Amino acid sequence: MHDVRTLEHDSSAPTTPDVHYLNATHGALSWFFTKDHKRIALLYLYSVSAFFLVGGIFAMLIRLELATPQGDLLSAETYNKVFTAHGVVMVFFFLIPSIPAILGNFLVPLMIGAKDLAFPRINLASWYLYMAGGLFGIAALVSGGVDTGWTFYTPYSTAASNTHVVLTAVGAFIAGFSSIFTGLNFIVTIHTMRAPGMTWDRLPLFIWSHYATSLIMMLGTPVVAVTLMMLVLERTLKFGFFNPDLGGDPVLFQHLFWFYSHPAVYIMVLPGMGVISEIIAAFSRKPVFGYKMVAMASLGIALIGFLVWGHHMFTTSQSTLAAVTFSFLSFLVAIPSAIKVFNWTATLYRGSVLLASPMLYALGFIGLFTIGGLTGLFLAAIGLDIHMHDTYFVVAHFHYVMVGGTLLAYLGGIHYWWPKITGKLYSEPWAKTAAVIVFVGFNLTFFPQFVLGYMGMPRRYHAYPTEELSWQVLNILSSAGASILGMGFILPVIYLTWSAFRGRPAGPNPWGAFGLEWETTSPPPTANFEVTPIVTKPAYYYAPEEH
Amino acid sequence: MSHQHHIPTKASLFAVFGALMVLTVLTVLVSRVNLGYLNLPVALAVAVTKALLVILLFMEVKYSPKLVQVTAAAGFLFFGIMILYTMTDYLSRNMIGVAGR
Amino acid sequence: MANGSHAHAAHHPMLQHHFDTLEQQQNASLLGMWMFLVTEVLFFGGLFMAYILYRWLYNASFHEASHELNVWLGLFNTAVLIGSSLTMALAVRASKTGEKSQLVLFLILTLVLGGIFLGVKVVEYAEKFTHHLVPGEHFAFHDAALKDGAQIYFSLYFAMTGLHATHMILGGLVLLPIIVMAQRGWFSPEWYTPIELFGLYWHFVDIVWIFLFPLLYLM
């Protein structure tokens, strides 16, 4: 197994510049008060990773409990708190900020040839808001937890639950503003800060997908923020909004909540799609097939994503007309998603495909996202959803999109841009090993859950019938897969950290990829480019002789 | 792009203020008359007119770049989507005569 | 679009390092403020959505409950807030023409009018407390059949006007340092971005009230 990256090297060994953004200034304060988008991206990398660890520990507790049919490890109340903590941490503090706040922060200015984001101070403030929201979330956890599920459904959350709903809701509220300001920053930056010649039809698809994501962040997040505010008012001051005892309607809460939280799914997956477009093009040495369609598909997903929220409410009192409308629109959202999958596949066709570690994640993404998307169609069908609603089929479906999609894209992106971020090369054999372990562990964890859900196992229970032997077999497979998956996550932490200290210098462009971010040094200087670049070529301009 | 060079006259700003005050008094007066189902649409029409005056002339959207105009419209468009679909649900309940549907 | 070739003129002291020109910086700030206002529309939008649904469900209660509000105080406050929008627009104009004393005067007037609005709001809120119209355990309504709807009406009343008042208070806190900056002559026809952005925010707050007044007071 040889290192593919060495193939691209000239005889002169790559070097690291003497001064770059990591060592331009020193001391803790130079980090905590930095306005450099690249340093803020690293602050996010550390904090988001910490939350991922917390969320992961709760996931392991869930899988441990379900290894046996009896509720022997956790009481029902504790189990409720554990799956709520897993959901809240993973959704609000990992998935939503992961790719945009880390890779997006680092790359959006680099890719468009800007010196920074438009509002560097607001960017730093976003990180502090994220941390403040996280502190509220952690405070809720250590003071006893929450048991409402991450969806905070009323009236349970406002009238019945005696856990720390308010702390958690305030945490999610504050974290929401962090993502609003990130989205605002990206949109303004992409509109006003592009380098000369970086026209809209030359923007990398990573930028297009972040543009679409930012639109959702700005248009959706305020609605969930005000909804959580109403929830807190109802719970603390007994204002009547959603509680039927006070004359309210709980279904209104669900409408308002999912108006944001369904598009939020696309906040999570669209940036991942941007990462995949970059990786597929770089390791096929070809422009992305149907560039314009892929770019428009991002906007299409963002727009149609706002029109489908009612498919979370097929089993409520929602009217048949609304249900049919939402079902139809949910099917429509599959079209732009499928356009992307087909176009990535077509990009591979007759490309010079290099199976480097980021590419392994990207190929994994295409397969797993397709499964996640297609099973979503099952759930968008009104009749079938009545059977599947709140079963493990739903759990498996969204984990195929969120973990098989977003998380794999996140890992692929981290591996792809790690040499740019740190200026160092990691061990490619270890990276490939980890990618394979993650893929195997993921499928072993979540595929059995499709079967379990189809057989009728409901989600959010700490025990299941002992008579159903096949249920336990499938659950044990799933728990075993989770421990393999866990190892697949620990490995990159080790070899990436090691590479940051001991890795060989990467040079500006270790992958031989095309794009402005590869034209500056690794790590880049604080101002990103020595001189403002002038763009004369379209995105993914891989010259024919490279084939 | 040079939006910031539009300087309104003082008279035009006072005229906008005058129009806003007239509309405010008008909406109070109309609300004293019982128009049945028409009271709400009239009140909303007056409010929308007032909001448009503020947006176009005080906030100078009329003289702003197209991007700002589109942005200003987008917020209301998505607010409209939220109302449209949510109220579709509530208004069409019991439409097919099956309990709970 | 960024303009790479701009060797002309000395850098304006307010030009931040990552922008090429003052115009680019101003365009970015203006667009950013508008994006923020879009999020504000949807932030208030959630409450308006709830208002629409519950007004439809509890029409009679809403009618009855709205009569508990004092239309004349509401009308007075509307006039005050529209007046503050006028002074704000005049302040933006003064900053464009570089008339410093007028700018300071109109900014102070805006702050004073905002203060009057909030003062009246305090009087109105106090009235609701004495009449047991604050939602919660002590809520009482003269018509028991309409109590649930009336309680929701007052929940929305306090949430909407409270959120609106919070925006006014935050606006006032931001306006104070801007007045000091204006007094010290920081602004010029070349650079008055904070005035322009604050103006947009203040007008937005006015627009919210333009809808709240007929929806809450006039039924």
Judging contacts by C-beta atoms under 8 Å, the chain C residues touching residue B86 are: 49, 53
Q: Residue C58: is its pLDDT beyond 90?
A: yes
Question: Measured between CA atoms, how close is C105 to chain A, in angstroms?
Answer: 30
Task: List chains touching C (3+ CB pairs under 8 A).
Answer: A, B
A191 to chain C: closest CA residue: C1
Q: Residue A471: is its pLDDT beyond 80?
A: yes
pLDDT recorded at residue A273: 98
Domain presence at residue C1:
no
C91 to chain B: closest CA residue: B10
Task: List chains touching A (3+ CB pairs under 8 A).
Answer: B, C
pLDDT recorded at residue C138: 87
CB contact under 8 A, B88 and A223: no
Mean pLDDT value across residues C12-23: 89
Is-contact A514 A540, C-beta < 8 A?
yes
Please provide the average confidence, as pLDDT, over all residues in chain B. Answer: 90
What is the DSSP secondary-structure string of A280-338? HHHHHTSPPTTHHHHHHHHHHHHHHGGG-GGGG-TTTT--HHHHHHHHHHHHHTHHHHH
pLDDT recorded at residue A12: 66
d(C-alpha C210, C-alpha A13), whole Å: 67
Cα A547 to Cα A205, A281, A284, A445, C23, distances in angstroms: 22, 13, 9, 39, 44
What is the DSSP secondary-structure string of C14-75? T--TT-SSHHHHHHHHHHHHHHHHHHHHHHHHHHHHHHHHHHHHTHHHHHHHHTTS-HHHHH
pLDDT recorded at residue B35: 84
Judging contacts by C-beta atoms under 8 Å, the chain A residues touching residue B75 are: 219
State percent of chain C over pLDDT 90.
87
Q: Is B99 exposed, middle or buried (0-12, 13-18, 19+ CB in 10 A)?
A: exposed
Most B CBs within 10 Å, among C38, C59, C95, to test the B interface: C38
Instruction: Give the residue among A123, A127, A91 at the shortest CA–CA distance from A108.
Output: A123
What is the DSSP secondary-structure string of A180-226? HHHHHHHHHHHHH-PPTT--GGGS-HHHHHHHHHHHHHHHHHHHHHH
pLDDT recorded at residue C137: 85
pLDDT tens-digit profile of A386-424?
999 999 999 999 999 999 999 999 999 999 999 999 999
Domain presence at residue C7:
no
Question: Measured between CA atoms, how close is B98 to chain A, in angstroms?
Answer: 10
Q: Which amino acid is at C52?
A: I
d(C-alpha C139, C-alpha C131), whole Å: 9
Helix H, strand E, coil C: the string for B32-45 is HCCCHHHHHHHHHH
CB contact A306 to B (< 8 Å): yes
Q: Residue A9: is its pLDDT beyond 70?
A: no
Question: Measured between CA atoms, how close is C32 to chain A, in angstroms?
Answer: 6
Judging contacts by C-beta atoms under 8 Å, the chain C residues touching residue B4 are: 26, 30, 96, 196
Q: Residue A376: is its pLDDT beyond 80?
A: yes
A303 to chain B: closest CA residue: B78
Q: Dig out the tokens for A447 from the structure.
A: 């595929």
Q: Which of B85, B86, B93 sits opposite A317 (nearest CB)?
A: B93
Q: Which of B43, B44, B54 sits opposite C203 (nearest CB)?
A: B54
Judging contacts by C-beta atoms under 8 Å, the chain C residues touching residue A249 are: 53-54, 57
pLDDT tens-digit profile of B80-99?
999 999 999 999 988 876 66
The residues, any chain, with a CB within 8 Å of residue A309's CB and separated by 6 or more, are: A255, A258, A259, A261, A262, A263, A326, B85
pLDDT recorded at residue A408: 98
CB contact under 8 A, C38 and B72: yes
pLDDT recorded at residue C10: 58
Mean pLDDT value across residues C28-45: 97
Domain presence at residue C120:
yes
Phi, psi (degrees; rounded to nearest 5) at C74: -65, -45
Q: Which of A225, A233, A255 sits opposite C43 (nearest CB)?
A: A225
CA-angle at A11, arms to A7 and A15, nearest 5°? 90
pLDDT recorded at residue C136: 87
Model confidence at B1, pLDDT cuts 50, 70, 90, reads very low
Q: How many independent structural domains does chain C possess? A: 1
CB contact under 8 A, B4 and C26: yes
Lowest mean pLDDT among B83-87, C143-147, C166-170: C143-147
The residues, any chain, with a CB within 8 Å of residue C148's CB and separated by 6 or more, are: A240, A246, A247, C58, C61
Is-contact A542 A286, C-beta < 8 A?
yes
d(C-alpha A361, C-alpha A275), whole Å: 10
Please give the radius of gyration of chain A, using alpha carbons only, rounded to the nearest integer. Answer: 23
pLDDT tens-digit profile of A434-459?
999 999 999 999 999 999 999 999 99
Most A CBs within 10 Å, among C42, C153, C156, to test the A interface: C42
Model confidence at C5, pLDDT cuts 50, 70, 90, reads very low
Domain presence at residue C139:
yes
Instruction: Give the residue among A330, A173, A152 at the shortest CA–CA distance from A241.
Output: A152
A235 to chain C: closest CA residue: C136
d(C-alpha B82, C-alpha A174), whole Å: 23
State percent of chain A over pLDDT 90.
95
Model confidence at A52, pLDDT cuts 50, 70, 90, reads very high
d(C-alpha A10, C-alpha C13), whole Å: 45
pLDDT tens-digit profile of B26-55?
999 999 888 888 889 999 999 999 999 999
CA-angle at C143, arms to C142 and C145, nearest 5°? 150
C102/B5: higher pLDDT: C102
C158 to chain A: closest CA residue: A239
CB contact under 8 A, A222 and C149: no
Q: Residue B2: is its pLDDT beyond 60?
A: no
Q: Which amino acid is at B48?
A: V
Is-contact A244 A192, C-beta < 8 A?
no
CB contact under 8 A, A321 and B95: yes
Mean pLDDT value across residues A519-531: 94
C84 to chain B: closest CA residue: B17
Q: Which domain holds residue C53?
A: 45-218
- So what's the ipTM on this one? 0.93
pLDDT recorded at residue C6: 42
pLDDT tens-digit profile of A289-334?
999 999 999 999 999 999 999 999 999 999 999 999 999 999 999 9
CB contact under 8 A, A322 and B74: no
State percent of chain A over pLDDT 70.
97
Lowest mean pLDDT among A9-23, A428-442, A491-505: A9-23
Mean pLDDT value across residues A84-103: 97
Is-contact C202 C113, C-beta < 8 A?
no
Judging contacts by C-beta atoms under 8 Å, the chain A residues touching residue B3 are: none
Question: Measured between CA atoms, how close is C57 to chain A, in angstroms?
Answer: 10
Please provide the average confidence, as pLDDT, over all residues in chain A. Answer: 94
Instruction: Give the residue among B12, C77, B89, C186 at the shortest CA–CA distance from A311.
Output: B89
CB contact under 8 A, A219 and B95: no
Q: Residue A6: is its pLDDT beyond 70?
A: no
Question: Measured between CA atoms, how close is C43 to chain A, in angstroms?
Answer: 4
Mean pLDDT value across residues A97-124: 97
- Is the preceding peptide bond at A538 cis, omega within 30 degrees of 0? no
Q: Residue B3: is its pLDDT beyond 70?
A: no
CB contact under 8 A, A240 and C45: no
C20 to chain A: closest CA residue: A193
Is-contact A515 A278, C-beta < 8 A?
yes
Instruction: Give the residue among A4, A2, A9 at the shortest CA–CA distance from A509.
Output: A9
CATH number for C168: 1.20.120.80
Chain B with chain C: Cβ pairs closer than 8 A: 121
pLDDT recorded at residue A1: 38
B100 to chain A: closest CA residue: A317
Model confidence at A13, pLDDT cuts 50, 70, 90, reads confident
Task: List chains touching B (3+ CB pairs under 8 A).
Answer: A, C
CB contact C50 to A (< 8 Å): yes
Helix (H) or strand (E) holding A268: helix A250-284
C49 to chain B: closest CA residue: B83
Domain presence at residue C37:
no
CB contact under 8 A, C45 and A225: no
Q: Which amino acid is at C110?
A: T
Q: Which of A251, A317, A325 sits opposite B88 (nearest CB)?
A: A325
d(C-alpha A193, C-alpha C24), whole Å: 8
